Amino acid sequence: MAKPLTPEQRIKNAAKLIEEARNIPRPASVGWDHFSYTAQVKDTLKKAFELIKLIQHSPSADKETKRQAKDLMDSLPEIEREILKPS
C-alpha cells in the first residue's frame, strides 16, 4: 500500500503541476490544437486542486500549511486565466 502524502508534499506536488501547466506548449493555430491545449491545461490544474483541496480540513496540518493551501487554491483561477489568455 502506498504511503499517504503529507500536506507539505501535496502543496509541493501541486506547485509542480502548476509549473507543468505553464510549460505545456501553446499551439500556433486556434483550431482543435487550441482546444486540446486548453483541455490539457485545465486537467493539469484540476489535478493540482485535487491534491490540496482537503488540506484545510485536515487536523494534522498546521495553520501555516492550511494558509498556504488556501492561498494556492484561491490563486488557481487567476493562474488559469494567465496561462490561457490570448497572446
The SS3 assignment for 54 reads coil
The SS3 assignment for 65 reads helix
Q: What is the pTM of this model?
A: 0.88
The tens place of each residue's pLDDT in the chain, 87 residues long, gives 777 889 999 999 999 999 999 999 988 877 777 889 999 999 999 999 999 999 999 888 899 999 999 999 999 999 999 999 876
- DSSP 3-state percent helix, strand, coil across the chain (nearest 5): 70, 0, 30
